[in-house]
């Protein structure tokens, strides 16, 4: 009986100590940190029907992974036509370079012949006018005949001037004028081909970041237009904890300060990367004894790369880590 009396106080004392420990632990101020991440969109740059989709919700992808393929058959057909036109233009350009000299010489020869003919005619009309003038002065022909001879002389002189201008133009023409024109056509076709190949390449949509697929807006068989987002990817390299810290204690927090948090029974350290300037009532999902029924400011803490937390998971941050 006496042994029972001695044991009872010991049990009572242990119960009191345990209760104090639990009480102190329960009263320790903590904050809830919710993992959020930068969401990277993956829009289409061309329009068409999606023929292949390679992603599913929750799938991990790497930047550059193919997530969808758009039908490019029409673009490839247009590319084939452009390449055939380019081959044709190159053949014509080669012919132009080969025959350019002879064509230029022929053009000059024709212009010179026209000039010589016009010169002979002008000389003849000038002589006829001189004779007509002498006859008119002697009274042998009427004035109308003299006027006709003068008109013929003036017309021949104008024709000679035109032939001279044509001969000069032919002589000044660049020997490479035709080949230069076909060369420009080749450059235009090459530019169009490069643009067409770029459009075909864009029919393969690739992931813009390492991360986890959180939305799949279009799948195989769907038609997509330029600018429409095929999928959202939650970046794994740009994660952060969202925390609501009491407004009256915000002076405890500064940019770049290190903050410890607990996840999966392990402790990690991040840095404060964002502090909001607009207070708000603490959202219900973030309320703890440390910020309940208080106006708070949203802050963000970078998550280190060695921490495998995923978007939507939570971590516990002791209030003392901010002091």
Q: What is the pLDDT of residues 69-117, one digit of tens each?
A: 999 999 998 899 888 888 878 877 776 655 555 566 667 777 787 788 8
pLDDT digits (tens, 9 = 90+) for 149-194: 888 888 888 788 877 877 777 666 544 555 566 678 888 888 989 9
Percent of the chain residues past pLDDT 70, beyond the cut: 83
> Considering the entire predicted model, what is its pTM?
0.57
- Mean pLDDT (the chain, rounded): 82
Residue 124 has pLDDT above 60, yes or no: yes
Count CB-CB contacts under 10 A for residue 208: 17
Q: Is the pLDDT of residue 255 over 80?
A: yes
pLDDT at 71: 95
**pLDDT-derived band of residue 315, with 50, 70 and 90 as boundaries?**
very high
Residue range 11-42, pLDDT digits in tens: 333 343 334 333 333 446 899 999 998 899 99
- Closest to 88 in 3D by CA, of 169, 206, 186: 186
CATH class of 28-70+210-322: mainly beta
What is the gyration radius of the CA atoms in the chain, in angstroms? 46
- Residues 92-124 as b or e (16 or more Cβ within 10 Å = b): bbeebeeebeeebeebeeebeebbeebeebbee
Q: What is the Cα–Cα distance from 311 to 37, expressed in whole angstroms?
A: 6
| Rounded CA separation 210/42 (Å) | 12
């Amino acid at each position: 009986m006496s042994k029972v009396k001695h044991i009872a106080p010991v049990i009572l004392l242990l119960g009191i100590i345990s209760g104090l420990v639990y009480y102190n632990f329960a009263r320790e101020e903590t904050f809830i940190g919710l993992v959020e991440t930068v969401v990277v969109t993956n829009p289409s740059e061309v329009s068409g029907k999606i023929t292949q989709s390679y992603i599913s919700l929750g799938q991990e992808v790497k930047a550059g992974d193919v997530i969808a393929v758009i039908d490019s058959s029409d673009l490839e057909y247009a590319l084939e036509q452009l390449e055939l036109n380019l081959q044709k233009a190159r053949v014509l350009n080669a012919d132009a370079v080969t025959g350019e000299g002879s064509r230029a010489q022929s053009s000059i020869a024709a212009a010179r012949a026209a000039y010589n003919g016009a010169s002979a005619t002008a000389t003849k009309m000038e002589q006829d006018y001189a004779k007509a003038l002498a006859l008119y002065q002697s009274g042998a022909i009427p004035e109308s005949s003299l006027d006709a001879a003068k008109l013929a002389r003036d017309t021949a002189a104008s024709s000679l001037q035109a032939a001279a201008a044509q001969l000069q133009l032919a002589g000044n023409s660049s020997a490479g004028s035709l080949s230069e024109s076909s060369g420009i056509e080749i450059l235009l076709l090459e530019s169009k081909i490069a643009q067409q190949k770029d459009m075909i390449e864009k029919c393969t949509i690739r992931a813009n970041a390492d991360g986890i697929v959180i939305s799949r807006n279009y799948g195989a068989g769907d038609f997509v237009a330029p600018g429409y987002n095929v999928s959202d990817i939650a970046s794994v390299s740009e994660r952060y904890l969202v925390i609501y810290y009491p407004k009256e204690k915000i002076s405890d927090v500064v940019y770049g300060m290190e903050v410890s948090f607990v996840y999966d029974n392990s402790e990690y350290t991040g840095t404060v990367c964002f502090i909001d300037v607009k207070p708000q009532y603490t959202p219900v999902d973030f309320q703890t004894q440390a910020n309940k029924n208080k106006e708070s400011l949203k802050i963000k803490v970078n998550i280190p790369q060695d921490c495998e937390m995923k978007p939507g998971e939570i971590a516990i941050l002791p209030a003392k880590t901010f002091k």
